[in-house]
Amino acid sequence: MTIKKSPFERFDIDPRGGPVAITERLRELAEETTDADERAAIRAAWEELTLHPLRRLTAALDSFPESRAAMGPPPRRAPAREPDAPLDLPDLIARPRARAALPPPTDDERALLGPPAPTDPLGRR
């Protein structure tokens, strides 16, 4: 089984270019070739990439391999808890990484939350 190349890869077209850039590149290629089959393939690619936006997007997403760095191993998960088990304090506390990702509360949000609980030894939420 052979893997079909994306029209972007086959004709060396930048997937970030719109229909005008695609048309210009395929017109250049059509003018350079004398092979009728190649011109038909160029014409089919032009129709695919300029007349069908969803197909253009799909071809663009399938064009090039992933270039971003690997995300690393998945995060460790907490042990599964029984569905009917009561929630305990660790179940309710935001994990440090999750807390760091949250934006700080606004003044309005702080006013809604009220003062820290008197039992909190650090005076934090």
pLDDT, tens digit, for every residue of 26-77?
Answer: 999 999 989 999 999 999 999 988 888 888 888 888 776 666 677 777 777 7
Give how far Cα 3 sits from Cα of 10, 25, 62, 91, Å: 12, 23, 11, 48
- Per-residue pLDDT at 4: 64
**What is the amino acid identity at position 65?**
P
Q: Is the pTM of the predicted complex or chain greater than 0.95? A: no
